[in-house]
């Protein structure tokens, strides 16, 4: 089992280009697994972890409801945003500047074959990272992602998640609001959940900005421990 993960920070990158790149890496791992089974070999399969920041974009998961997007095409253009229907789970979400997006593209057979556990570990990585900033983040029953003040009228989401998996290979991932412009969430019903707010780390800490490199370092530390993995830079 290969527990090494190639880390790539793509910087500021278009959503479609990044999605195409994810699909390329995903297909490479799946093809390697098919070849292993066909040839009765046991060659190592690769794992990747992509960090990226997208321009303003709304994405709708395969089980999502288009009515949760509250903008028409003209309004999207006016906001400088794009929209995509995509092949992950979950409903609608927003990505944009000031948000750390992470796409682990893993062969889970290198770690464990349990999608539920995979999602819970991603949530735990976020929870442990936010704890380092003095925030008590939690899971909300029946609602994937990471929240603050769960079970109160002030519940608010700070990290959205949506993944796809096939042959135990994952893609898509998480979006953590660090220095995000929360106004863009006003144009959707985030994750299809009405009546709950969205927040960002800089708002919670009362700061103009939070150092995103520091946040990434903390995320990787907790991911490494949870998955018993080792990161290597490309």
Catalytic center residues: 191
Q: Is 206 known to sit in a ligand binding site?
A: no
Q: Is 125 known to sit in a ligand binding site?
A: no
Q: Is 83 known to sit in a ligand binding site?
A: no
Q: Is 77 known to sit in a ligand binding site?
A: no
CB atoms within 10 A of CB 141: 7
Q: Is 133 known to sit in a ligand binding site?
A: no
The distance from CA 211 to its chain's CA centroid, rounded to whole angstroms, is 19
Q: Is 160 known to sit in a ligand binding site?
A: yes
Q: Is 161 known to sit in a ligand binding site?
A: yes
Q: Is 91 known to sit in a ligand binding site?
A: yes
Binding residues for substrate, as ranges, are: 88-95, 160-162, 173-175
Binding residues, as ranges, are: 88-95, 160-162, 173-175
């Amino acid at each position: 089992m290969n527990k090494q993960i190639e880390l790539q920070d793509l910087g500021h990158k278009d959503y479609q280009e990044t999605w195409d790149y994810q699909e390329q890496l995903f297909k490479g791992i799946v093809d390697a697994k098919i070849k292993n089974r066909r040839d009765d070999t046991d060659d190592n399969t690769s794992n990747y972890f992509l960090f990226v920041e997208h321009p303003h974009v709304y994405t709708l998961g395969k089980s999502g409801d288009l009515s949760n997007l509250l903008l028409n095409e003209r309004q999207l253009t006016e906001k400088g945003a794009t929209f995509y229907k995509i092949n992950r789970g979950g409903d609608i979400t927003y990505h944009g500047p000031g948000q750390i997006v992470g796409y682990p593209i893993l062969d889970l057979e290198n770690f464990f074959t349990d999608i539920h556990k995979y999602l819970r570990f991603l949530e735990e990585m976020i929870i442990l990272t936010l704890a380092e900033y003095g925030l008590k983040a939690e899971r909300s029953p029946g609602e994937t992602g990471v929240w603050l003040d769960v079970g109160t009228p002030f519940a608010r989401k700070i990290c959205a998640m949506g993944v796809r998996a096939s042959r135990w290979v994952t893609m898509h991932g998480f979006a953590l609001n660090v220095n995000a412009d929360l106004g863009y969430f006003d144009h959707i019903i985030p994750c299809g959940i009405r009546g709950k707010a969205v927040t960002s780390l800089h708002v919670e800490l009362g700061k103009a900005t939070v150092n995103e490199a520091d946040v990434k370092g903390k995320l990787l530390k907790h991911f490494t421990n949870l998955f018993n993995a080792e990161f290597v830079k490309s």
